A and B are shown apart, each in its own frame.
Chain A
Amino acid sequence: DAGVIQSPRHEVTEMGQEVTLRCKPISGHDYLFWYRQTMMRGLELLIYFNNNVPIDDSGMPEDRFSAKMPNASFSTLKIQPSEPRDSAVYFCASSLDGQTQYFGPGTRLLVL
């Protein structure tokens, strides 16, 4: 059974460019979470969805960040414009019950 799928696995971009990260949750999971991991701040929840609806986006750092979930099998996290301080590993996770979360392999983003 496929786990959470994220693409790309690595992204290198220049400051000011738009970055789009993609996530496919485990089939049947109604919850989807986006996290950011950095050395300084650890794991931070950015936003989560339930049944494709954003429930809590209080962790989104600023208006440059946006997330969508157009259907049950796909979500995007977009950063526009990107800045060097956005460099981090971004994880997507999905959950059937809203408690137990299963993580994808992450996207390692470097903004130059």
Chain B
Amino acid sequence: AQSVTQLGSHVSVSEGALVLLRCNYSSSVPPYLFWYVQYPNQGLQLLLKYTSAATLVKGINGFEAEFKKSETSFHLTKPSAHMSDAAEYFCAVSYGNKLVFGAGTILRVKS
């Protein structure tokens, strides 16, 4: 069965610092993988997705993620954090037509 583990329920970085949010998945078949962002009192917004094309995926707002099959990982990165990046981030893996979500990581950006 597919599952997603996000390491760290809370991550805190300084403005301008590297953002690294970790996601590991388990899947019995080549997966589709997604990162979503949720701002307070809003719905989930798609950041980026991996669909078995390039292993390095670029998304919106300067985020990117790299699919590493050997490590079953799909970590999300951004070179320089901005205050507006403060939000909750969810990694998800597809399971047929269903998405299985991780528990989420709250990103705090300090000025």
A50 to B90 alpha-carbon distance, docked (Å): 24
Q: Which residue of A lies closest to B100 (CB)?
A: A45
Taking chain A's interface residues, is the majority helix, strand, or loop, or is none over half, making it mixed? strand
Q: Chain A residues near B43 (CB, 8 Å)?
A: 4, 91, 103-106
Identify B99's interface contact among A101, A105, A106, CB under 8 A.
Answer: A101
- Check if B46 sits within 8 Å of A48, measured CB to CB: no
Interface size on B, residues (CB 8 A): 19
CB distance from B6 to the nearest CB of A (A): 10
Q: Is A18 an interface residue (CB 8 A)?
A: no
A55 pairs with B103, CB closer than 8 A? no
Q: Are A42 and B98 in contact (CB under 8 A)?
A: no
A55 with B97, Cβ < 8 A, contacts A42-B103, A99-B32 known: yes
- Chain B binding surface, main DSSP class: strand
Could you say which residues of chain A place their CB within 8 Å of the CB of B42? 105-106
In the complex, which residues of chain B have a beta carbon less than 8 angstroms from the beta carbon of A95? 97
Contact with B along A26-53 (1 / 0, CB 8 A): 0000010100000000110100101000
Q: Does A102 belong to the interface (CB within 8 Å)?
A: yes
Closest to B32 in A: A99
Shortest beta-carbon distance from B9 to chain A in Å: 11
A84 within 8 A of B: no
Chain B residues with CB below 8 A from A50, complex form: 97
Chain A min CB distance to B102 (Å): 8
Q: Which residues of B contact A42 (CB under 8 A)?
A: 101, 103-104
| A104→B46 CA distance, assembly (Å) | 11
B17 at the interface (CB under 8 A from A): no
Interface residues of A (CB under 8 A from B): 4, 31, 33, 42-43, 45, 48, 50, 55-56, 91, 93, 95, 98-106, 108
- A–B complex contacts, Cβ < 8 Å, 22 sampled: A4-B43, A31-B97, A33-B99, A43-B101, A45-B98, A48-B97, A48-B98, A50-B97, A56-B98, A91-B43, A93-B44, A99-B94, A99-B97, A100-B34, A100-B46, A100-B49, A103-B43, A103-B45, A105-B43, A106-B42, A106-B43, A108-B41
